[in-house]
Structure 1
């Protein structure tokens, strides 16, 4: 790995929260090579993460979106309620185009896709710790566009994170059984979320859902 001069010189406590050991280990190696003073803490679930944040002053949390089928917008807020100064960088396999702005609006300080380069990971950590946030060009444009527009209520914003996730999977062509297997939940639970989405968006089928997403996600 190539070492890169960074802007953060103080001792750091960084918490990696992901249910995949290989992912945590990879990020740890990158951080150790670039931030030699950092102390890395690991958690494979939200209970472990919460206990660590309760006992240690954490500068940065690198957080996956979904761990063991549990959505984490609520968890982000709980972790920040314990330590309000803790920064949270989302590190996810979910596309930023669909999820990035949603998470930032709900308290994340940055969003990275897991397929990004080592350089981008280092840059993101540097920016979150030095200036308080990391926004890609796409996120910056979306935030700028939203600030210029008059506030308009977007029904998609009424969806919970899990409702949004299942709706996106339906739009992408997944069936109830496939979604249930992927998220490790019951098919009846998928149906319940699907019905909630249809009710909130005032639609009745997948075609209408696809059209709604195409017209309302930007």
Structure 2
């Protein structure tokens, strides 16, 4: 008889939790599922009972940073963690894997891939998609910076930080005593190097890699 295991599904959308729970129950009848809709609730439940696998939404209320992994592992060091997000795998997966997660799964993936990820991690492995594996190989061949912030110059870092803080082009120009056109040029370079196309994406990526 298979060992009884428990998976904690942490997502603030009930339809997502229920959908994943249905897939898990169908594929793994020996696995029990629990639900949490905030990171505070995750920590409470981790203190109450052992969990084999935590499926954790990146944008979970009360968490929303890579520090969630460290805090969860402090409560249950042996527990496995699978990040579950709609964020682009190529942009975010490696950061979370390097921070201690055991896998990264895109929310748009198929039911079979969800089952594959759960099985792989429960069996003691790591799970990333073929797309991310290709990215790792490409980075290794090209000796690409793992942390994209390292590709920014000191001035670009300075302007990026001001943009993240909500400063506009005019405010930055006045603060740094440079032309608005110069700020625009730096902003375009920052967006290109970090592979983002708006301020919201810049904030997300900067927060992810600055920690």
Please give the TM-score of this superposition, normalised by the length of structure 2.
Answer: 0.71
CA contact (8 A) 1:32 1:38 kept: yes
Note closer, same or farther for the CA distance 1:19–1:152 as it changes in structure 2 (3 Å cut).
closer
Residue by residue, what CA displacement relative to the aligned partner does 1:77-132 show, whole Å, maximum 9, x if unpaired? 10011111111111111110111111111111111111100000000000011133
Note closer, same or farther for the CA distance 1:55–1:157 as it changes in structure 2 (3 Å cut).
farther
User: Which segment is superposed worse, 203-212 or 75-84?
Assistant: 203-212
Is 1:208 equivalent to 2:171 in the alignment? no
The answer for the alignment partner of 2:17 in structure 1 is 24
The answer for the alignment partner of 1:10 in structure 2 is 3
The answer for the alignment partner of 1:40 in structure 2 is 33
CA contact (8 A) 1:14 1:38 kept: yes
CA contact (8 A) 1:88 1:108 kept: yes
Note closer, same or farther for the CA distance 1:156–1:207 as it changes in structure 2 (3 Å cut).
same
Note closer, same or farther for the CA distance 1:137–1:157 as it changes in structure 2 (3 Å cut).
farther
The answer for the alignment partner of 2:110 in structure 1 is 117
Shift of 1:157: 6.3
The answer for the alignment partner of 2:166 in structure 1 is 191
Shift of 1:147: 5.9
CA contact (8 A) 1:77 1:107 kept: yes
CA contact (8 A) 1:87 1:132 kept: no
The answer for the alignment partner of 1:79 in structure 2 is 72
Partner of 1:67, secondary structure, is coil
Once residues 30 and 153 of structure 1 are traced to their aligned partners in structure 2, the CA distance between those partners, rounded to angstroms, is: 34
Once residues 153 and 111 of structure 1 are traced to their aligned partners in structure 2, the CA distance between those partners, rounded to angstroms, is: 17
Is 1:130 equivalent to 2:134 in the alignment? no
Shift of 1:49: 0.3
Once residues 66 and 137 of structure 2 are traced to their aligned partners in structure 1, the CA distance between those partners, rounded to angstroms, is: 23
The answer for the alignment partner of 2:60 in structure 1 is 67
Residue by residue, what CA displacement relative to the aligned partner does 1:124-152 show, whole Å, maximum 9, x if unpaired? 00001113311222332344455677796
- Matched pairs, number: 175
Larger Rg: 2
CA contact (8 A) 2:23 2:111 kept: yes
Once residues 48 and 28 of structure 2 are traced to their aligned partners in structure 1, the CA distance between those partners, rounded to angstroms, is: 22
CA contact (8 A) 1:16 1:24 kept: yes
